[in-house]
Amino acid sequence: MPASADTLAAADLLRVATAGHVDDGKSTLIGRLLVDTRQVLEDQLDALERSRRERGRDEIDLAHLTDGLRAERERGITIDVAYRYFATAHRRFILADTPGHVEYTRNMVTGASTADVSVVLVDASRGIAEQTRRHTAISALLHVPRIVLCVNKMDLVDYDETRFAALAAEWARFARELGAAATHAVPISALRGDNVVERSPRMPWYAGPPLLELLENVPPERRDGGGVRLPVQTIVRGDETAFVAGRLERGTLYPGDELAVVPGGERVRVRSVRVGHDELDAAAAPRSITVALDSAGDLRRGDLLADPDDAPAPRTELAARVCWLHEAGVRPGAVYALKHTTRWTRARVTSISSRLDVTTLAGHPDPGALGLNDLAEVRLALEAPVAADPYAACRATGSFVLVDEDSHATVAAGMVL
């Protein structure tokens, strides 16, 4: 008996990226969330308590729960974000702990690129810094569906409502100018636990939910609407049926649906949709599935199965926004391997039209070259066509990476315009 899409739906998962200026409290906030939701083992808490006593401090240092991976980043790991996993009775979470240093802008892009929520911290005693604006701008640039400002260290300003209101208003104006998605501001003290997991009695003037409650109730990004996008990962051909495995990135797929193959142009019909050995009445994105097709023809890995009514046109030229991730810069004429969904081709940088000021998204035309952490608009000429959507329409089919063919280093992450 076929299982329904609902009964096999993945558990409610929220991806959260933390961001903000150095020392605004990102690691302490993550530590507080882990401790107050009872995700930390007793021996870890005992070690923190021993460290507190040895140092003569009044509070345990929650940031030590993430110090290990921060040290790895300081040793030069190129694209690495510290991920923390935890769950409550209402939701599962993946926390991406992104660094605050400006030289690690690339890491922030990596962590926020798949986030449902970007949590930007600001130190209430210092105010909004350049990195606060930078990380808010990048979150808007990456179309993160929701951005939350945590005004941290409220204990240092005596939990002053006026100070919180001023910072929240200043940040909200900046976020609106960037065209950011839904926003919210929460006054917290990560060190003392105010408004992180439990509502704080020290700020009775704040009527909103504490941070964890807010995150538990954020609706996940909906990808089940719009035309189907299924990049082909694996094909197994039989005598009468071909089985195709891949991750459904957008839309809802039903047995009997007709799909277009891009860039080939053929039409195929879906006989069944499966997850493992279970046959589904329907599959909604995002989901890794196997579909049985009436034929596979010339279908190959890297092709895209799409709704025939709005399938993306194959492109051999891309206008894109890129974040340069490598110490070696780039000038027009450079050639790289381009990976788009499951497809590889070669791409030549034909022009660099402008470099972006990531605190305002203003463009500086004709920069001539790009360096590490630069964000810019470029044009690429491709050796073979790709089935790309604009990034704003579909993150998965609107993004790509560039790879150096000699060193195999990932040098850029890109978003199709």
Per-residue confidence (pLDDT) for residue 167, from 0 to 100? 97
Per-residue confidence (pLDDT) for residue 108, from 0 to 100? 82
Give the residue extent of every domain in the chain. 13-216, 229-306, 315-416
Listed residue (185, 198, 193) closest to 62, CA to CA: 193
Are residues 160 and 122 in contact, defined by beta-carbon separation less than 8 angstroms?
A: no
How far apart CA 81 and CA 100 sit, in angstroms, is 12
Per-residue confidence (pLDDT) for residue 208, from 0 to 100? 96
Mean pLDDT by 10 residues, the chain (417 residues): 38 86 85 83 67 66 59 42 84 85 75 91 94 89 93 97 97 90 92 94 97 92 86 87 93 96 93 93 94 88 95 96 90 96 97 86 87 92 97 93 94 93
Strands 283-284 and 335-340: unpaired
Per-residue confidence (pLDDT) for residue 75, from 0 to 100? 44
Per-residue confidence (pLDDT) for residue 360, from 0 to 100? 73
| CATH architecture label of 229-306 | Beta Barrel (2.40)
Per-residue confidence (pLDDT) for residue 295, from 0 to 100? 83
Q: How many CB atoms lie within 10 A of CB 304?
A: 29
Two domains, one topology: 229-306 and 315-416: yes
Are residues 388 and 315 in contact, defined by beta-carbon separation less than 8 angstroms?
A: yes
Domain 13-216 sits in CATH at 3.40.50.300
Per-residue confidence (pLDDT) for residue 80, from 0 to 100? 54
Which DSSP string do the residues of 280-333 spell out, in sequence order? ES-EESSEEEEEEES--TT--TT-EEE-TTSPPPPEEEEEEEEEE-SSS-B-TT
Q: Residue 43 gets which letter from DSSP?
A: H
The CATH number of domain 315-416 is 2.40.30.10: yes
Q: pTM here? A: 0.82
Name the residue type at position 164: F
Per-residue confidence (pLDDT) for residue 46, from 0 to 100? 64
Both structure tokens of 163: 């100070």
